[in-house]
C-alpha cells in the first residue's frame, strides 16, 4: 500500500494541479482533503481548457476513483455545474465519491464572506469570497450542514432552521442583508440532493480498505502551507489545514498509512490576498514573474503578488509537513533572469538574522530578506526532459535548493505541458 500526500509549500498556486495531473494516473484513488472551490486549476482535455475547482483531477483518468473527503467544504451548486461541464465533454463522473461528513457551503456563507470582508476594510483578508471561512466557522460552531443531511429532508430542514435562527439576525441586523427562508433553502438543496445522492458515501472505510489491499491513494492538498489556519500567516490564511496532517484528519486515514509527502514549490513565490511576504518585489523583476509566469488566479482572476524563492519558507514547510520529496515548478520562468536570487535568511527590525520563520506575526511582517545570488542560465530550458539536459547553472540552482531545504527535488517542471517535466525519483 502507498499513501502519498501532495501539499503546497508556499501560499498556494505552486502548480499543484499540473503535478497532480501528471501523477494521478498512477494511483487508484485521488482524494481532496480540505478546502473547497477557493482552489482551482486548469486541465487540458482534447485541446480544451477545463477549470476544476472541486472535483479532483483524477476524474480525467477512467481507471482512477476521484473522491472529496470529509475535510472539504462543498458548494453543491458549483459541484453540480462542474459535473455537468465534465459530462458535456463526455467525461464520466459516475465514479466520483463524496464523504458523508463533508460540510456544505450554504448561500448565507457566501453572503457573510463578502460582508465580513467589506466590514474589515483595509484589514481585509482578501478571501476568494466563496463562503469558505463562514462554512468552516459553522462547522466549528456545530451549526454546519453536511452532505449526509441532504439524504434526509426532515433532518436537513431541522438543521437549517437551527442555523438560521442566529444567521438571519446577523445578516439583517449587522450587515443589513436579506434573511433566508427555511422553505426556500430546503427546496433548493433537495434538488441538489437528487443529483448528488449517488455519490455520497462513508469514505474513510473505502480508503482504508483500499490501502490495506495494496492500492495507491493520492491525497491532493489545495492552497499551501503558509495558508494553513494553524501553521500559516494567521490571520491571513484559509480556514482549513492544507498541511500534511490535514490529509489524515480530512479523510479518516491514519498517519501510518502515508508513505511519502511531496511538497510543491514554485522556483519563485506568488501570493494572492493580504498578509506578509518577505521576498515580494515591486520592481521590474516582479513584473517579469507576473508576465512570463502568467500569474493571475484561476479562481478569481486576480493578479498575484510575486517575489524571489524563499528557502526559509521551504525549510519550514519541510518540517511542518515532514516532506520526503520536493517538486520545483516553473523553473523555465527563471530563464528570463541573468542573476537569480534565493532568500536564505531574514533580518528583523533590530538587525538580528533569522534562519527560520519567526514565530511572532509582526516579526514576520517586518522580516527583510537576505539574498544569495546565483548566475542565471538565460537559455530556453522548456525542452529538457532529464536533469542532465538542464544547463549547469540550472542544475546548480536545484542542488542549492535541495541543500537549503534538506529534501531531494524529485520532480522539476520546465513548462506548462504534462511532458515538460523532469522526473528524477518516482513516488510509488
Ligand atoms: P479563503 O480561502 O477564500 O477564505 O481565502 C483566504 C486566503 O487564502 C486569501 O488570502 C486567499 O487569497 C487565499 N487562498 C485561498 N485559496 C487559494 C488558492 O487556491 N490559491 C492561492 N490562495 C488562496
DSSP-assigned states of every residue in 52-76: ESSS-GGGGSTTSEEEE-TTBEE-H
Which tens digit of pLDDT belongs to each residue from 337-378? 999 999 999 998 888 899 999 888 888 999 999 999 999 999
Which tens digit of pLDDT belongs to each residue from 230-260? 999 999 999 999 999 999 999 999 999 999 9
| Alpha-carbon torsion, ordered 270, 273, 275, 279, to 10 deg | 20
> Looking at ligand 1, which atom is closest to the CA of residue 273?
10
Q: 273 alpha carbon to ligand 1 midpoint, in Å? A: 7
Whether 196 lines ligand 1, by a CB cut-off of 6 Å, is no
Residue 362: burial class (beta carbons within 10 Å; 0-12, 13-18, 19+): exposed
C-alpha cell at 337: 533572469
- pLDDT of 117 reads 92
User: Which residue's alpha carbon is nearest to atom 11 within ligand 1?
Assistant: 127
Return the percentage of the chain with pLDDT > 90, whole number. Answer: 89
- pLDDT of 1 reads 57
User: Which residue's alpha carbon is nearest to atom 8 within ligand 1?
Assistant: 238
pLDDT band at 319 (very low <50, low <70, confident <90, very high): very high
DSSP 170: I
> Looking at ligand 1, which atom is closest to the CA of residue 128?
3
User: Which residue's alpha carbon is nearest to atom 21 within ligand 1?
Assistant: 12
Contact 108, 171 (CB under 8 A): yes
- pLDDT of 360 reads 87
Q: 307 alpha carbon to ligand 1 midpoint, in Å? A: 18
Q: 111 alpha carbon to ligand 1 midpoint, in Å? A: 17
Which contacts of 284-290 are long-range, i.e. CB under 8 A and separated by 24 or more positions? 285/337, 288/336, 288/337, 289/333
> Looking at ligand 1, which atom is closest to the CA of residue 222?
19
Whether 12 lines ligand 1, by a CB cut-off of 6 Å, is yes
Distance CA 150, CA 156 (A): 6
Pocket test for ligand 1, best of 38, 52, 125, 264 (most atoms within 8 A of CB): 38
Residue 123: burial class (beta carbons within 10 Å; 0-12, 13-18, 19+): exposed
Q: What angle do CA 223, 287, 122 make, to 5 degrees?
A: 60
Q: Which residue has the cell 449526509?
A: 148
Whole-prediction pTM: 0.96
Whether 3 lines ligand 1, by a CB cut-off of 6 Å, is no
Provide DSSP, 217-272. Answer: EEEE--S-GGG-TTTSSTTSS-SS--SHHHHHHTTT--GGGEEEEEEEEESEEEE-
Which tens digit of pLDDT belongs to each residue from 24-64? 999 999 999 999 999 988 887 888 888 999 999 889 999 99
> Looking at ligand 1, which atom is closest to the CA of residue 300?
12
Q: Is 199 a catalytic residue?
A: no
Name the active-site residue from 41, 53, 103, 199: 41
Q: What angle do CA 422, 86, 56 make, to 5 degrees?
A: 50
Contact 308, 391 (CB under 8 A): no
Q: 142 alpha carbon to ligand 1 midpoint, in Å? A: 23
Q: 197 alpha carbon to ligand 1 midpoint, in Å? A: 29
- pLDDT of 99 reads 98
Q: Name which of 75-84, 117-126, 179-188 the model is least confident about.
A: 117-126
Q: Is 41 a catalytic residue?
A: yes
Pairing of strands 216-220, 2-8: parallel
Q: 125 alpha carbon to ligand 1 midpoint, in Å? A: 9
Distance CA 136, CA 130 (A): 12
User: Which residue's alpha carbon is nearest to atom 20 within ligand 1?
Assistant: 12
Pocket test for ligand 1, best of 9, 12, 229 (most atoms within 8 A of CB): 12
- pLDDT of 13 reads 93
Please provide the average confidence, as pLDDT, over all residues in the chain.
95
Amino acid at each position: 500500500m502507498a499513501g502519498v500526500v501532495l501539499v503546497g509549500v508556499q501560499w498556494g498556486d505552486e502548480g499543484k494541479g499540473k503535478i497532480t495531473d501528471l501523477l494521478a494516473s498512477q494511483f487508484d484513488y485521488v482524494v481532496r482533503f480540505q478546502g473547497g472551490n477557493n482552489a482551482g486549476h486548469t486541465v487540458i482535455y482534447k485541446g480544451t481548457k477545463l477549470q476544476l475547482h472541486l472535483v479532483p483531477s483524477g476524474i480525467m483518468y477512467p481507471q482512477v476513483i476521484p473522491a472529496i473527503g470529509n475535510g472539504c467544504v462543498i458548494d453543491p451548486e458549483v459541484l453540480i455545474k462542474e459535473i455537468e461541464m465534465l459530462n458535456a465533454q463526455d467525461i464520466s463522473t459516475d465514479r466520483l465519491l463524496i464523504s458523508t461528513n463533508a460540510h456544505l457551503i450554504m448561500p448565507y456563507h457566501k453572503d457573510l464572506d463578502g460582508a465580513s470582508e467589506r466590514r474589515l476594510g483595509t484589514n481585509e483578508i482578501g478571501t476568494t469570497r466563496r463562503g469558505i471561512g463562514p462554512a468552516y466557522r459553522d462547522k466549528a460552531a456545530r451549526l454546519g450542514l453536511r452532505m449526509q443531511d441532504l439524504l434526509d429532508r426532515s433532518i436537513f430542514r431541522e438543521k437549517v432552521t437551527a442555523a438560521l435562527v442566529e444567521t438571519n439576525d446577523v445578516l439583517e441586523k449587522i450587515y443589513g442583508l436579506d434573511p433566508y427562508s427555511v422553505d426556500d433553502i430546503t427546496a433548493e438543496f433537495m434538488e441538489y440532493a437528487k443529483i448528488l445522492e449517488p455519490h455520497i458515501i462513508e469514505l474513510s472505510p473505502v480508503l482504508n480498505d483500499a490501502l490495506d489491499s495494496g492500492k495507491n491513494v493520492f491525497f491532493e492538498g489545495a492552497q499551501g502551507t503558509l495558508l494553513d489556519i494553524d501553521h500559516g500567516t494567521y490571520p491571513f490564511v484559509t480556514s482549513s489545514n492544507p498541511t500534511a496532517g490535514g490529509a489524515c484528519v480530512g479523510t479518516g486515514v491514519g498517519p501510518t498509512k502515508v508513505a511519502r509527502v511531496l511538497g510543491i514549490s514554485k522556483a519563485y513565490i506568488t501570493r494572492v490576498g493580504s498578509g506578509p511576504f518577505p521576498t515580494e518585489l515591486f520592481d521590474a523583476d516582479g513584473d517579469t514573474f507576473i508576465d512570463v509566469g502568467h500569474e493571475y488566479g484561476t479562481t478569481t482572476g486576480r493578479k498575484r503578488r510575486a517575489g524571489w524563492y524563499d528557502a526559509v519558507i521551504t525549510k519550514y514547510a519541510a518540517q511542518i509537513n515532514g516532506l520526503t520529496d520536493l517538486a520545483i515548478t516553473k523553473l523555465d520562468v527563471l530563464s528570463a533572469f541573468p542573476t537569480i536570487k534565493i532568500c536564505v535568511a531574514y533580518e528583523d527590525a533590530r538587525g538580528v538574522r533569522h534562519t527560520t520563520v519567526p514565530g511572532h506575526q509582526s516579526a514576520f511582517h517586518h522580516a527583510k530578506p537576505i539574498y544569495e545570488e546565483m548566475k542565471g542560465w538565460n537559455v530556453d530550458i522548456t525542452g529538457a526532459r532529464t536533469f542532465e539536459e538542464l544547463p549547469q547553472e540550472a542544475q546548480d540552482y536545484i542542488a542549492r535548493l535541495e541543500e537549503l531545504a534538506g529534501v531531494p527535488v524529485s520532480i522539476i517542471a520546465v513548462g506548462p505541458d504534462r511532458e515538460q517535466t523532469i522526473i528524477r525519483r518516482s513516488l510509488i
